Homo-oligomer: A and B are copies of this chain.
Amino acid sequence: MAPASKTSRVTIKTVAADAGVSVAAVSKVLRDAYGVSDALRARVQASMEKLNYRPHAGARAMRGRTYTLGILLPDMRNPFFADILAGVNEALDRTQYQTMIGVSRSAETIEMSLIDSMIDRQMDGLIMIGPRMPPETAEAVSSRIPTAVVGYHVPQLATLDTANNDDVAGAAQVVRHLAANGYRRITMVTLAVPTKNVVVTVQRERGYREAMKERGLAQHINIVPADQTAREVQTVVRHLLESRHRPEALFCWTDMVALHALSVAKDLGLSVPGNLAIVGYDNTIYCDLAQNSLTSVDQSGQVLGLQAARLLIERIDGRQQGDHFVVSPRLVVRGSSRPRPS
A interface residues with partner B (beta carbon < 8 Å): 1-5, 54-62, 66, 68, 75-77, 79, 81-82, 85-86, 89, 98-103, 116-117, 119-122, 124-125, 140, 143-146, 159, 230, 259-260, 262-264, 266-267, 285-286, 288-292, 316, 318
Contacts and interface: CB of A to CB of B under 8 A. Distances in A.
A101 B98 contact: no
Nearest to A58: B61
A256 to B, nearest CB: 9
A296 to B, nearest CB: 15
12 contacts: A1-B140, A2-B124, A56-B61, A57-B58, A57-B120, A59-B62, A61-B61, A62-B62, A76-B85, A85-B103, A99-B102, A230-B285
A298 to B, nearest CB: 16
Number of copies: 2
Contacts of A100: 100-101
Contacts of A66: 58, 121
A286 B285 contact: no
Given A57-B58, A57-B117, A266-B291, 5 more contacts: A4-B144, A54-B119, A75-B82, A98-B117, A98-B121
Nearest to A3: B143
B285 A266 contact: no
Nearest to A82: B76
Contacts of A318: 1
A68 B75 CA distance: 20
B56 A122 contact: yes
B285 A263 contact: no
A240 B259 CA distance: 27
A159 B159 CA distance: 48
Contacts of A61: 56-59, 61
Contacts of A103: 85, 89, 101
A269 to B, nearest CB: 10
A62 to B, nearest CB: 5
Contacts of A286: 259, 286
A279 to B, nearest CB: 16
Nearest to A81: B76
Nearest to A142: B3
A3 B266 contact: no
Contact of A116 (B54, B76, B102, B116): B54
A127 to B, nearest CB: 14
Contacts of A117: 57, 98
Nearest to A86: B76
A222 to B, nearest CB: 24
Contacts of A60: 58
